[in-house]
A and B are shown apart, each in its own frame.
Chain A
Amino acid sequence: MLLCSFTALQAQSLEYQIDGMTFGMPEARVYTDDYDGPPVVGDYISMLPNLVPLDYEGNKHHHIRMDTMVQEIEVANGVRYRAWTFGGTVPGPVIHVKEGDRITFTMTNRSDEMVTITEPGVASSQFLEQTAANNFMDAQPSIMPMPHSMDFHSGTVAASDKWRTIAPGQTIEFDFVANYPGTYIYHCGTPSVLMHTAMGQHGVMVVSPKDGYTDDYEVDREYVVVQSEYYLRPGAGELYQYDFEGAQNVNPSHVVFNGHQSILHDQPLKANAGERVRIHFSNNGPSGTSSFHIIGAIFDRVWMEGHPFNEMRGMQTVLLGASSSATIDFIVPEEGSYTLIDHEFADAEKGATGTLIAGPRK
């Protein structure tokens, strides 16, 4: 890792195109500075289950900052632990871009620093406004210095360069082009990758297709739901801690939607009867599968991995391995309450459920 920062890497700076996609990004930069600004910066970054609409034509060059830091959070009633996070929540912020957009990404490893996520900085991000207004996990800053890295599944780059591990206090900056549409997880790739992701370092980037999913209709609502596992056991004090054996044996203590056992019940998704709802659903793992189902609905159209070419119709469940996703459209049939569920019931009963409340048809 450090070896790389001293050794001249093969220059990657010659851009080229294949099938209209762009490859060949400049070498990542690792440096130390005294940044102490907002930990999440960018125009199209939100807190789950929200997705910031893309309000621009053509492609855009995004400058995104998402720092990694420690937050003590609640993941279920009475269960708190000191999470390793991107942006301060688990899962991390939802980043929205368009197929073909270029991203300059900056991340400072602030795991040795108290960083608050409930005070949005000037011109930072919708994400920080949302966490300030809705601190559902009751996030409190904490310190646990560890090496970390960032691996965007939406990026097509040399991992040995861009996904490099950085020490506490260091910053990494790199470019990539979101060549493929879909919903892609991002996560820390530093060993133990199981431990780092289970400790909370994962999230999703939604890369919307440049020509949309279908010309047949417009959706009325668009949400993002992420499934993930926690492996926790009671620690020495009041806090829970990482359960190494649970993680190794894929025996999670909690399986959750959007990072908390009850967040999607206490703050249900909203829609009205007769509306078309789109959910970008990602199973971030780290190790389990998900059989996503909505009780009382049939998935009208499903695009596996969120790619518009991968269309399926009339699905009752969508089976997703760890780090797989689907973009799911369904029609809300009637006024009432609908349960989102991982139909692998052991997971459901560990928390992988949520609610959609439907109002009357308008």
Chain B
Amino acid sequence: MKNRILHILTLAAALLLSARPSMAQEAVEIPGGSFHSILPEVEGKPLEVESFYMDVTAVTNSEFTEFLMENPRWRRSQIPAAFAGEGYLRHWQDDLTPGEESPADAPVTRVSWFAANAYCGWKGGRLPTLDEWEYSAQLMEFDTPAQSNAFASELMGWYSTVNTDNIRSVGSTGIVNKYGVRDQFGLIMEWVEDFEPPMGSDFQLNCGSMGRMQQAGNLYSYAASVRYMTRMSFTPQTTTGMIGFRCAYDAPLTRNLYSEPALREVLP
């Protein structure tokens, strides 16, 4: 039932789009591979992820402004309540001005899943799937498990100190995966296409499941479960001061297709 509602709303949301963008955002290819999800249902079985492209950085305030200029119906004053909660871009000065507290090169936040999804569609891409996002996030290089754990510990500290009043520029965290994707941690949390992962109906994230989520000796899983938990609490209308997004692309056709100026004219 829920999935059907989501599907219908997504289709409706797509109809709100008007123009297509003139250029694709910088993205890099993430070669396919596998990784271990923290979800207990798939524990022990590595998840396969196919190659895809993903934006190097999160979508910025200035990039989102560009989207809003071309797609008026996603502006704060016009977006239907079904597609975003009351907090949608509430920190912006007005419809098209991020304002002093939202620097042009800082990631856009207070955007709903619908808006993020629409933006990525406009860019000729889509939101990354949860598995793609998490796979990319795990593609960091550490020399030792101790270093990895130290990083995860810092990450837990970050989850306890997120400062939505002072979100820094994209690329500023110094955290980068081995293919050049930046800031998957330390800046904001990000929407993914399927932010509620499929799970057995009898499974809920609670304190009893936390232990099951922790792979032995790996603090990273622990930090990841905070992220899963936060995403799972969202609805597609949720807008908070710490959630933004980046886009993914089915490499490389889709991205180029939609960025062709000639095709822009014929697409709806």
Residues of A within 8 A of B (CB): 1-4, 6-7, 32, 34, 82, 112, 143-147, 159-160, 165-170, 189-193, 195, 199, 233, 235-236, 239, 241-245
Which of A147, A190, A235, A243 has most chain B Cβ within 10 Å? A147
Instruction: Say yes or no: A166 contacts B233, CB within 8 Å.
Output: yes
Cα A3 to Cα B149 in complex, Å, equals 32
- Interchain Cβ contacts under 8 Å between A and B, 24 examples: A1-B205, A2-B232, A3-B196, A3-B204, A7-B2, A82-B161, A143-B241, A144-B163, A145-B242, A147-B233, A166-B233, A167-B233, A168-B240, A189-B206, A191-B205, A191-B210, A191-B226, A192-B222, A192-B226, A192-B229, A193-B206, A193-B207, A195-B160, A242-B160
Residues of B close to A235: CB separation below 8 A:
157, 161
Cα A165 to Cα B234 in complex, Å, equals 10
Which of B86, B153, B239, B240 has most chain A Cβ within 10 Å? B240
Least Cβ–Cβ distance between B233 and chain A, in angstroms: 3
Residues of A close to B229: CB separation below 8 A:
147, 165, 190-192
Cα A192 to Cα B232 in complex, Å, equals 14
Judged by a CB distance under 8 angstroms, whether B87 is at the interface is yes
Least Cβ–Cβ distance between A84 and chain B, in angstroms: 8
Cα A2 to Cα B201 in complex, Å, equals 11
How would you classify the secondary structure of chain B's contact residues: helix, strand, loop or mixed?
A: loop
Instruction: Say yes or no: A6 contacts B209, CB within 8 Å.
Output: no
Instruction: Say yes or no: A145 contacts B241, CB within 8 Å.
Output: yes
Residues of B close to A166: CB separation below 8 A:
233
Residues of A close to B87: CB separation below 8 A:
112, 169
Residues of A close to B205: CB separation below 8 A:
1, 165, 191
Closest to A145 in B: B240
Cα A143 to Cα B110 in complex, Å, equals 13
> Given A2-B234, A165-B233, A168-B238, 16 other A-B contacts at CB below 8 A?
A7-B2, A32-B85, A34-B86, A143-B164, A143-B241, A145-B162, A145-B164, A165-B232, A169-B87, A190-B233, A191-B225, A192-B226, A195-B160, A233-B157, A235-B157, A244-B157
Cα A303 to Cα B210 in complex, Å, equals 34
Interface residues of B in 50-76 (CB under 8 A from A): none
Residues of B within 8 A of A (CB): 1-2, 5, 85-87, 153, 156-157, 159-165, 196, 199, 201, 204-207, 209-210, 219, 222, 225-226, 229-230, 232-235, 237-243
Instruction: Say yes or no: B153 contacts A245, CB within 8 Å.
Output: yes
Least Cβ–Cβ distance between A38 and chain B, in angstroms: 19
The residue from B156, B201, B239 contacting A195, defined by CB atoms under 8 A apart: B156
Cα A34 to Cα B153 in complex, Å, equals 36
Closest to B162 in A: A144
The residue from A2, A144, A242 contacting B196, defined by CB atoms under 8 A apart: A2
Instruction: Say yes or no: B240 contacts A112, CB within 8 Å.
Output: yes
The residue from A7, A144, A168 contacting B201, defined by CB atoms under 8 A apart: A7
The residue from B85, B163, B233 contacting A2, defined by CB atoms under 8 A apart: B233
Cα A32 to Cα B153 in complex, Å, equals 34
Cα A171 to Cα B14 in complex, Å, equals 29
Instruction: Say yes or no: A169 contacts B162, CB within 8 Å.
Output: no
How would you classify the secondary structure of chain A's contact residues: helix, strand, loop or mixed?
A: loop
Least Cβ–Cβ distance between A137 and chain B, in angstroms: 18
The 8 closest A-B pairs by CB, nearest first: A147-B233, A242-B160, A145-B240, A244-B156, A6-B2, A193-B207, A167-B233, A241-B161
Least Cβ–Cβ distance between B195 and chain A, in angstroms: 9
Residues of A close to B233: CB separation below 8 A:
1-2, 147, 165-167, 190
Cα A313 to Cα B225 in complex, Å, equals 46
Instruction: Say yes or no: A242 contacts B238, CB within 8 Å.
Output: no
Cα A313 to Cα B161 in complex, Å, equals 46
Closest to A111 in B: B240
With A189-B206, A191-B226 given, is the CB distance from A169 to B85 under 8 Å? yes
With A6-B1, A143-B165, A166-B233 given, is the CB distance from A195 to B153 under 8 Å? no
With A34-B86, A166-B233, A191-B209 given, is the CB distance from A241 to B157 under 8 Å? yes
Residues of A close to B160: CB separation below 8 A:
82, 195, 199, 241-242
Residues of B close to A112: CB separation below 8 A:
87, 164, 240-241
Instruction: Say yes or no: A242 contacts B157, CB within 8 Å.
Output: yes
Instruction: Say yes or no: A2 contacts B226, CB within 8 Å.
Output: no
With A191-B209, A242-B161 given, is the CB distance from A1 to B240 under 8 Å? no
Residues of B close to A167: CB separation below 8 A:
233-235, 238, 240
Cα A165 to Cα B196 in complex, Å, equals 14
Least Cβ–Cβ distance between B71 and chain A, in angstroms: 24
Least Cβ–Cβ distance between B148 and chain A, in angstroms: 14
Cα A192 to Cα B213 in complex, Å, equals 11
Cα A144 to Cα B162 in complex, Å, equals 6
Residues of B close to A144: CB separation below 8 A:
161-164, 242
Least Cβ–Cβ distance between B19 and chain A, in angstroms: 31
Least Cβ–Cβ distance between A229 and chain B, in angstroms: 15
Instruction: Say yes or no: A145 contacts B157, CB within 8 Å.
Output: no
Cα A143 to Cα B165 in complex, Å, equals 8
Instruction: Say yes or no: B156 contacts A4, CB within 8 Å.
Output: no
Residues of B close to A193: CB separation below 8 A:
206-207, 210
Least Cβ–Cβ distance between A106 and chain B, in angstroms: 18
Instruction: Say yes or no: A1 contacts B230, CB within 8 Å.
Output: no
The residue from B1, B85, B86, B153 contacting A244, defined by CB atoms under 8 A apart: B153
Instruction: Say yes or no: B238 contacts A169, CB within 8 Å.
Output: yes
Residues of B close to A241: CB separation below 8 A:
157, 160-161
Closest to B166 in A: A237
Least Cβ–Cβ distance between B122 and chain A, in angstroms: 26
Residues of A close to B241: CB separation below 8 A:
112, 143, 145
Cα A1 to Cα B233 in complex, Å, equals 6
